[in-house]
Amino acid sequence: MGLPLEVLLGVGAAVVLLAVLAVRVSVRVGLPSLLLYLGIGVLLGEAVLGVEFSDAALTETLGIAALVLILTEGGLTTRWSVVRPALWIGIALSTLGVAISIAVAGTALHLLLPLDWRTALLWGAVLSVTDAAAVFSVLRTIGVSKRLVGALELESGLNDAPAVIAVILLANDDPLDWLTTPAQIGYELVAGAVIGGLLGLGGAWALRRAALPATGLYPLATVAMCVLAYACGQGAHASGLLATYVAALILGNAKLPHRSDTVSFAEGMGWLAQIGLFVLLGLYSSPGRLVDAVVPALVVCAVTLLLARPLSVVASAAPFRVPWREQVFLSWAGLRGAVPIVLASIALTAGAPDAQRLVDVVFVVVVILTLLQGTTLGWLARRLGVGSDGEVQEIEVDAAPLDELGADLIQVRVPPGSKLRGVYLRELRLPEGATVSLLVRDGSGFTPSPDTRLRELDQLLVVATADVRDATERRIRAVDRAGRLARWRGETGES
């Protein structure tokens, strides 16, 4: 007989609250929070508090569901202006880089561990993928250049799809057809991207024209659209994970109503998914088996850090003339997290040989690499000189429709370093039909005049008729980038 509902809800709430507090602890001590989540799961497990959980199929299902939400949060919070300069590098890392990593790691593990070729390549595929949750939570806090952030965020968002395909192909007993397999992989990736793109564009079009009765419905609808992209992708025998990320990336960069609320909601869902996933994986682990996995895990860590990741980065980034310092950082920043453990559970569910050992080894590998890489990334960025010092923050522009007035309310925050600083309101030259109705400075709001001069961290409320909303946003972004002479300098404000 199962536990009463109130007990389950109480334990779940307590775990979430403990995990939220763990974030503060991790920030103070410099320890990645995912390790604390794994620790909570181990504490709840059979070796300590005695909760038994050994359902590999359920772990796989819940793990993939969590990955969908994590990729949704990653896509919605990724700015196109950040990833655009690194678009092709990110794509190369997530495709060519994954293939090279599988080949190099598989070959090395076949030679160093008693694994047959197919099993060794399967281990390589599981280890080839960087983790979106780890990258999104760690990378954005250490202050590196936009190109590096963009490349790593794109890689972590896109490389789940080819890695999952490779794991499924290698975990099954079916013989690999070297003529049809590449075509199958190509179809799944291309079709997944197309499905995600179409749903992202369609969802953005619908949400911009929908006057929903409550603000909270916009974030809910946006996240639901991304989950729908996964379902449609899988239904079409394509990559649902890629469809999810592409749809989220498009929606996150569209001019949606209440965008800041949507991003906040997605971040909350992403944190909840991370907490649940890592606690579940910690609960599933068995400390007794993990001890036997330490030695092969150390071999795997060495292969991953010293061979597979560096060679995949060099092959992917060198054609784009990425400086060697940035290549070193990209190599070290290939963070592993829950995704490899989920991929290992897929292999276990499929009945792959030695899959339980793979799950245990990958668990230990994730802990070791997270401790090693996650705690040294900031130091390495400073040593290599790849920080983001001097880069201007992107201006924050959020908009919400005023349903029956045929107008939009645009909220603008002037970031540090913006060329809006020092501009008089009359010099904004907003289109006719748009006006600054309120300015909030140092916590106090007032109605500005044309002679009011903007400062950093000012917040503006701009009311614009629906037909000039886009032109208003473009003009604000143009002045933010080029100052009061934006038109003379050819700046249009297009993102």
- What pLDDT is stored for residue 247 in this prediction? 94
Above 80 in pLDDT, residue 479? yes
Question: Taking 80 as the threshold, does the pLDDT of residue 379 lie above it?
Answer: yes
pLDDT top residue among 399 and 123: 123
**Percent share of the chain, pLDDT over 90:** 19
Summarize pLDDT for 332-378 with one digit per residue, the tens: 988 887 788 888 888 888 888 888 888 889 888 988 888 888 778 87
- pLDDT surpasses 50 at 435: yes
pLDDT at 257: 79
Q: What is the pLDDT of residues 269-289, one digit of tens each?
A: 888 888 888 788 777 777 777
Most confident stretch, 95-109, 148-162, 405-419: 95-109
Helix (H) or strand (E) holding 441, with range, is strand 434-441
How far apart (Å, rounded) are the C-alpha atoms in residues 377 and 373?
Answer: 6
Domain boundaries, the chain: 11-384, 396-485
Quote the pTM value.
Answer: 0.75
Give the per-residue pLDDT at 493: 67
Report whether CATH 3.30.70.1450 matches the domain 396-485: yes
Which CATH code for domain 11-384?
1.20.1530.20
Helix extents (H) in 304-354: 309-317, 324-332, 338-349
Q: How far apart are CA 4 and CA 1, in angstroms?
A: 9
Nearest one of 136, 150, 243 to 188, comparing CA atoms: 243
Question: Which of the four pLDDT bands, split at 50, 70 and 90, describes residue 136?
Answer: low
Question: 1 pLDDT band (50/70/90 cuts)?
Answer: very low
> What sign has the CA pseudo-torsion 443, 449, 453, 459?
positive
Higher pLDDT: 277 or 302? It is: 302
The domains spanning 11-384 and 396-485 adopt the same CATH topology? no
Which pLDDT tens digit goes with each residue over 234-267? 999 888 889 999 999 999 888 787 777 888 888 8
The pLDDT of residue 121 is 92
